[in-house]
Chains A and B, each alone.
Chain A
């Protein structure tokens, strides 16, 4: 009997010791929540009728388990962020008013994630037009789901994927009045009409990020969060189509640093500041000098042959 108790004790200890090792995978406990929150319907036991009953789940509360697994916070238990009281159903109505933690509450001042520059992002975000107009309701979470977020610009090598991921963040709200009107009384302006001056708009929206025209870009911050008022958005085709400058620069620097940290080899750094020389005037000047030099030499050769006669 005593041996058995000790056995159980040891087993519990063993399980606890195991816990940190398992922290790389999604916690089991989440399944109790996901049983209901990952399907279109859920069952509850009705004590009055003494029967299991199926109900429809609010579609906005259905989580995508694949995206959860891929997200940066997949090691979290649901109740790390949500109140423990959610463990019972029906959920207590007061829980709706529970204040949620923001990115900065956890990541602010955290050395581990210094490379993301969370504080600087917050600063930039607070200058953005979204925050300026709706500082109470507009939070990081409006663009970054804490459930699914996975940094893409930093991890993906596929430009199309980066563009799509970033633009969907904006479009999910700007193309959907449901989300938009959680923030604003108005309806979202039709993006197609607003950007009608842009030729081949579809292609542009697939190939360039909204933030490329709508933010101020810095070399030192991978993703600029300072979304400017619409009057300051760039309409200048030249900025991209000839001397595409700042964007290139920030991406170049970042890629260079990553490539180096990966294999410690600067030679194989394969990124290049494209567009640095795509400056027409400069090219003409250089070409002119080259032509001048060559014709000078040809003239000199001509004179020499003339001399020999």
Chain B
């Protein structure tokens, strides 16, 4: 793509959301891991500070999530998240194939970025999955752990709180994996830094 074909892909509000969200989630992941694996003898971060940080970051990410959610309803950015079920798997397969082999043969990407298509099918799938299923779930379960009285006491004799805590952790872990792949995929564009610069300037 040449300079003249630059497209304005990421509106300002989205970039602000993304920046705060990325920072918040990074803190959540670090503190979350620290809480999970600290033992009496091995503490990554001071326990009380860790929990406090985790709580604050969680609340910020929850509030800022509303910004993303509402933003995608009122602005045209939501358009990129519309989903046609028919043919989805084929389209995703095509993209996977591209990442796995065609990519190395320097073929053109099958779904290049355009004004109408910001995401390739895989991106779309993972962004929708993370932003409309996993993140809301993490937020809801996190809120439940802050207010444990709303949790069902027992589910088939397993403590509801314990179950919520475990599911919260698993969902957090999925976001962690998403993040790793997300950053890696973002770095394999035309040049390693290109996508990151787009996310800061807004222009692709």
Q: Which residues on A are within 8 Å of B, measured CB to CB?
A: 218-220, 245-246, 248-250, 252-253, 256-257, 266-273, 276-277, 279, 282, 286, 289-290, 293-294, 297, 300, 303-304, 306-307
Closest A residue to B188 by CB, please name it. Answer: A304
Task: Collect the chain B residues with CB atoms within 8 Å of residue A257's CB.
Answer: 148-149
Of B47, B151, B153, B169, the contact of A277 (CB 8 Å cutoff): B169
- Rounded to whole Å, the gap between the CB of A255 and the closest CB of chain B is 10
B146 near A272 (CB under 8 angstroms)?
no
Instruction: List the B residue with the shortest CB-CB distance to A246.
Output: B159
- Contact yes or no, A273 B180, CB < 8 A: no
Minimum distance in angstroms from A206 CB to a CB of chain B = 16
Report the minimum CB–CB distance from B57 to chain A (whole Å).
10
> B184–A289 contact, CB under 8 A?
no
Please name the 10 residue pairs, one residue from A and one from B, whose CB atoms are nearest each other, closest first.
Answer: A276-B165, A249-B159, A249-B161, A253-B148, A273-B165, A277-B36, A307-B104, A267-B55, A219-B153, A270-B48
Whether B56 and A276, one on each chain, are in contact in the complex, defined by CB atoms closer than 8 angstroms, is no
Query: Can you list, as one digit per residue, whether each of B127-159 has a CB less than 8 Å from chain A (1) or not (0)?
Result: 000000000000000000111110101100011
Q: How many Å lie between the Cα of A246 and that of B165 in the bound state? A: 12
Instruction: State whether A266 and B146 are in contact (beta carbons under 8 Å apart), knowing that A249-B161, A252-B161 are contacts in the complex.
Output: yes
The total of chain B residues at the interface (CB under 8 A) is 38
Do A269 and B180 form a contact, CB below 8 Å, given A218-B153, A257-B149?
A: no
- A124 → chain B closest CB, angstroms: 14
Where chain B touches its partner, the secondary structure class is helix
- Contacting residues, chain A, for B145 (C-beta < 8 A): 273
| Beyond known contacts A267-B55, A272-B47, A277-B169: 4 more, CB 8 A cutoff | A277-B36, A286-B173, A304-B104, A307-B104
- A-chain residues with CB within 8 Å of residue B173 when the two chains form the complex: 286, 289
Complex: how many Å from CA A278 to CA B59? 25
For B45-57 the 0/1 string (1 means CB < 8 A from A) is 0011001100110
The minimal Cβ–Cβ distance linking A111 to chain B, given in whole angstroms, is 19
Contact between chains at A279 and B166 (CB < 8 Å): yes
- Whether A297 lies near B181 (C-beta < 8 A) is yes
- Interface centre among B149, B158, B159, B165, by most chain A C-beta atoms within 10 angstroms, is B159
A-B contact pairs, 22 of them (CB 8 A): A218-B154, A220-B153, A253-B148, A266-B55, A266-B147, A267-B56, A269-B51, A269-B146, A273-B161, A273-B162, A276-B165, A276-B166, A277-B37, A279-B166, A289-B177, A293-B180, A293-B181, A297-B184, A300-B99, A306-B104, A307-B104, A307-B105
* Most chain B CB neighbours (cut-off 10 Å) among A252, A276, A303: A276
A250 to B160, CA, bound (A): 10
Main secondary structure of the interface of A (DSSP, over half): helix
B1 close to chain A: CB less than 8 A: no
Residues of the A chain whose Cβ atoms lie less than 8 Å from the Cβ of B160: 219, 249
Query: Do A282 and B166 have beta carbons less than 8 Å apart?
Result: yes
Most A CB atoms within 10 A — which of B37, B55, B151, B162?
Answer: B162
Among A219, A266, A294, A304, point to the contact of B154 (Cβ < 8 A): A219
Q: Of residues 102 to 140 in B, which have CB atoms within 8 Å of A's CB atoms?
A: 104-106
Q: Residues of B contacting A252 with CB < 8 Å?
A: 148, 161
Q: In the docked arrangement, what's the CA distance between A290 and B176, Å?
A: 9
Complex Cα spacing A15 to B145, Å: 52
Complex Cα spacing A272 to B146, Å: 10
Residues of B with C-beta under 8 A to A266: 55, 146-147
Contact B52 A290 (CB under 8 A): no
For B64, the chain A residues whose CB sits under 8 A away are none
CA gap between A276 and B106 in the complex, in Å: 47
In angstroms, Cα B170 to Cα A282, docked, is: 9
A308 CB to nearest chain B CB (Å): 10
**Which residue of chain A has its CB nearest to the CB of B168?**
A276
From known contacts A267-B59, A276-B166, A307-B106, infer whether A219 and B181 are also in contact, taking CB-CB under 8 Å.
no
* Contact partners of A279 in chain B: CB under 8 A: 166
Nearest neighbor of A266 in chain B, beta-carbon distance:
B146
Contacts of B35 in A (CB 8 A): 272
B182 to chain A, nearest CB (A): 11
* Chain B residues closer than 8 Å to A248, beta-carbon distance: 162
B162 and A246 contact, CB distance less than 8 A: yes
Give the CA-CA distance A268 to B52 in the complex, in Å.
6
In the complex, the chain B residue whose C-beta lies closest to that of A254 is B148
Q: Which residues of A contact B37 (CB under 8 A)?
A: 277
Check if B162 sits within 8 Å of A276, measured CB to CB: yes
A289 to B175, CA, bound (A): 12
A246–B157 Cα gap in the complex (Å)? 10
